[in-house]
Every structure is written in structure tokens, then in C-alpha cells.
Amino acid sequence: MTMENNELRKAGLKVTLPRVKILQMLDQADQRHMSAEDVYKSLMEAGEDVGLATVYRVLTQFEAAGLVERHNFDGGHAVFELADSGHHDHMVDVDSGEVIEFCDPEIERRQREIVKEHGFELVDHNLVLYIRKPKKKD
């Protein structure tokens, strides 16, 4: 029994071919953050015949099951990433598009403090730092 099957069972999801293939794709693809369209096209290129609607449905189920995280970066379309490693935030190089992951305990702690000071509890958060390599002249 494969790794993916176990993940799906643990999540309470029936082990179907599309689900396994999508999970594998998220795990193996070069890019860690993929849109539904990205996943769909990658599957097609790999010769896997999965409908785009199924990709959307499965990704949504994966999100509900905690297997993936959905991010709403700038640009109108959602991207998904495997929730295998722990929590982290993102830096995006505005020139190259490169994405760097990081996690800073100080910021995380301060976020919870701020929310608490306002009488709320923190459900989730989204932090993206847009960065660039320093240039001598701009």
C-alpha cells in the first residue's frame, strides 16, 4: 500500500485513481504551489485523464481534510500546496517570481497577541513579503 493511499484513508476519503494521482502530482511537481489549472495540465501531460472539475472538487476536499492549503495570492486564482511540512509564510521575489518559505516565531507570537488584545481568536493568517535583490542603482 502506497503512502498516498494511507494519507487518503486517514483523511476519510475513498481511495480513487484521480485522488491518488492529484496527491502524487502535488508531491512530485517541481513547483510547490500549484493552481487547479496547473495540476490539471500536469496530469494531462503525464497522460492521466482527469477532468478539470474533478481536480477542483478533489483539491477542495483535500483542503477540508487538511491535506493541502489553499492560498489566495495576488492574481485572481487560488494556489494549493501540500500541508506536509509545518506552517510557514512566504516571500515572493517580485523580479524572478521565486517563492521562499519561512516561519518566524516572533511574528507568529505577536500575531496571536494582537488578536487577543482585540478580543478575538486567531483562525488563520496570511503573510506574504514581496522582496527584491538589492541593487546599487535603481
* Residues near its own copies (CB under 8 A): 72-76, 78, 91, 93-94, 100, 102, 104, 106-107, 110-111, 114-115, 118-134
Annotated binding residue 118:
no
According to the annotation, is 108 in a ligand binding site? yes
**Burial grade of 46 (CB within 10 A; 0-12, 13-18, 19 or more):** middle
Of 78 and 91, CB closest to DNA: 78
CA dist 28 and 125 (Å) reads 26
Cβ proximity to DNA: between 126 and 136 the closer is 126
Q: Which amino acid is at 61?
A: Q
Can you say whether the dihedral through the CA atoms of 58, 74, 97, 102 is positive or negative? Answer: negative
Which residues contribute to the site for DNA (CB under 7 A)? 13-19, 35-37, 49-54, 56-58, 60, 76-78
Task: Rank residues 47 and 105 by Cβ distance to its own copies and give the closer one.
Answer: 105
Shortest distance, position 47 Cβ to DNA, whole Å: 12
Q: What is the DSSP string of 85-120?
A: S---EEEEETTT--EEEE--HHHHHHHHHHHHHTT-
- In the bound state with DNA, the residue whose beta carbon lies nearer, of 54 and 108, is 54
Question: Under a CB-based contact definition with an 8 Å cutoff, are residues 112 and 106 in contact?
Answer: no
Binding partner at 125 among DNA, its own copies, none, C-beta below 5 to 8 Å by kind: its own copies
Give the annotated binding-site residues: 87, 89, 108, 125
